């Protein structure tokens, strides 16, 4: 049993390196943590994990063949993902300081919004393709192995991306003026938008 799960060790190292480093999801989690606090960001965080779990499982079960057979699908995905990411970056950059927000204004991403974004997030696709190509066992039940690897990957990713939301919350406590908040939001929006460069290159 232990030998059969040996692939999980290298997979864990891969997921840590991919999810603890900056990217669209982590930039948005940092901004959300700062603006709304950690607990209000939890649905966003769980949506990332849920969306990636479904995406990674789908890749292992044949969805990844779309990229191989139809390269135009990959390009269309990059364009759609980039456009949506720029929209989210603008929303982050122009978010008013928390002290100026009226009731009900400026809600964090919901679980379903965050989950859906993963299917338009090229980094998630690249991460999932590499994960399944590099670590999915060849023997045994393919569906079980895919679900196990995808679930384990998201379990490893949880504390990594939670760190970014917590980091944002800590920053939010240091911002004492509306001007500081505006600078921070524009900075985070700019960093989120900058991810498009890596998506389209």
**Mean pLDDT, the chain, whole residue set:** 84
Which pLDDT score, from 0 to 100, does residue 7 have?
65
Which pLDDT score, from 0 to 100, does residue 3 have?
43
Which pLDDT score, from 0 to 100, does residue 115 have?
95
**Poorest-pLDDT segment among 106-120, 143-157, 184-198:** 184-198
Q: What pTM, to 2 d.p., does this model score?
A: 0.84
* pLDDT tens track for 84-104: 888 888 988 888 877 655 444
Length of the chain: 201
Which pLDDT score, from 0 to 100, does residue 193 have?
84
Q: Is the pLDDT of residue 178 over 90?
A: no
Q: Is the pLDDT of residue 59 over 80?
A: yes
* pLDDT tens track for 118-169: 988 878 888 898 888 888 887 778 888 889 999 999 999 999 999 999 999 9
Which pLDDT score, from 0 to 100, does residue 95 have?
82
Cα angle 106, 108, 111 (rounded to 5 degrees) comes to 145
Tokens read off for 113: 């919004």
Q: Cβ distance 10 to 136 under 8 Å?
A: no
If one compares 75 and 148, the residue with the highest pLDDT of the two is: 148
Which pLDDT score, from 0 to 100, does residue 103 have?
41
Burial 15-40 (b: 16+ CB within 10 A, else e): beebbbeebbbbbbbbbbbbbbbbee
How far is C-alpha 119 from the chain's CA centre?
10
Placement of tokens 């982590």 in the chain: 26
């Amino acid at each position: 049993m232990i030998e059969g799960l040996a692939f999980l060790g290298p997979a864990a190292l891969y997921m840590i390196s991919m999810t603890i480093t900056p990217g669209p999801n982590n930039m948005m989690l940092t901004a959300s943590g700062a603006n709304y606090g950690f607990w209000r960001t939890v649905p966003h965080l769980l949506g990332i994990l849920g969306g990636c779990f479904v995406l990674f499982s789908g890749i292992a079960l044949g969805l990844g063949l779309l990229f191989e057979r139809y390269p135009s699908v990959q390009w269309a995905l990059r364009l759609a993902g980039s456009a949506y990411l720029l929209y989210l970056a603008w929303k982050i950059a122009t978010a008013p300081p928390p002290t100026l927000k009226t009731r009900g204004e400026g809600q964090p991403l919901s679980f379903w919004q965050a989950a859906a974004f993963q299917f338009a997030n090229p980094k998630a696709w690249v991460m999932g393709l590499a994960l399944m190509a590099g670590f999915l066992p060849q023997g045994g039940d393919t569906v079980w192995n895919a679900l196990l690897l995808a679930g384990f990957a998201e379990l490893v990713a949880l504390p990594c991306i939670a760190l970014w939301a917590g980091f944002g919350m800590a920053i939010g406590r240091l911002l004492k003026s509306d001007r500081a908040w505006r600078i921070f939001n524009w900075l985070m929006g700019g960093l989120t938008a900058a991810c498009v460069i890596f998506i389209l290159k």
